[in-house]
């Protein structure tokens, strides 16, 4: 519950990135990737920075993981969500976790929009990352960042996704 309230607060009140945080971001991303990152609203930029810091603290220095930390949610920028939409998906997900996949199936219209974005943003983001020239491992990490690890056979990918999801879940 505390985490939900904090998420709420972030959605409404996040401040722009500090100069120091921008320096961390520009050290990781190419100019084309940076253009993707700039599409995020401030709270999502901070989310990416927090995920980046956590994956760095894990000791994994794989460049694709660092890029995916910053860009994994970029597909969310495909559909402009209102503050109300963003709160709805947080509250709906907390109250009816089993329903979000059902609501997320279909077109991004009406009250279901935020749920469709939640379900499909990994695929949309992977397309955007590929179009921006990201390497294939970064694209794969973006596309699969929400997948169950049980479905991931390849050991290296499994390990990188595990770290990414661990960091994402607490950010
Ligand atoms: Fe995501
Ligand atoms: Fe995320």
d(CA 120, CA 75): 8
d(CA 45, CA 21): 10
Q: Which two tokens stand for residue 74?
A: 């970029």
The number of the ligand nearest the C-alpha atom of 75 reads 1
d(CA 50, CA 168): 8
For residue range 18-28, what is the model confidence (pLDDT) as tens digits? 999 999 999 99
Domains and CATH numbers, the chain: 2-169 (1.10.3210)
CA of 139 to the centre of ligand 1 (A): 13
For residue range 97-130, what is the model confidence (pLDDT) as tens digits? 888 888 998 888 888 899 999 999 999 999 999 9
Mean pLDDT of 76-96: 87
Predicted pLDDT at 168: 97
The number of the ligand nearest the C-alpha atom of 118 reads 1
């Amino acid at each position: 519950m505390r985490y939900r309230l904090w998420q709420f607060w972030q959605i409404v009140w996040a401040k722009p990135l500090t100069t120091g945080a921008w320096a961390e971001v520009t050290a990781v991303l190419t100019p084309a990737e940076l253009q993707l990152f700039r599409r995020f609203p401030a709270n999502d930029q901070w989310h990416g920075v927090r995920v980046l810091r956590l994956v760095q603290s894990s000791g994994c220095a794989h460049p694709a993981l660092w890029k995916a930390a910053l860009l994994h949610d970029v597909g969310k920028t495909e559909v402009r969500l209102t503050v109300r939409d963003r709160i709805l998906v947080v509250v709906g997900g907390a109250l009816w976790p089993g329903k979000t996949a059902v609501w997320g199936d279909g077109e991004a219209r009406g009250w279901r929009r935020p749920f469709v974005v939640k379900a499909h943003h990994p695929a949309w983001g992977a397309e955007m990352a590929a179009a921006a020239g990201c390497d294939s491992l970064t694209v794969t990490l973006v596309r699969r960042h929400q997948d169950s690890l049980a479905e991931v056979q390849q050991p290296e990918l499994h390990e990188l996704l595990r770290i990414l999801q661990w960091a994402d879940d607490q950010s």
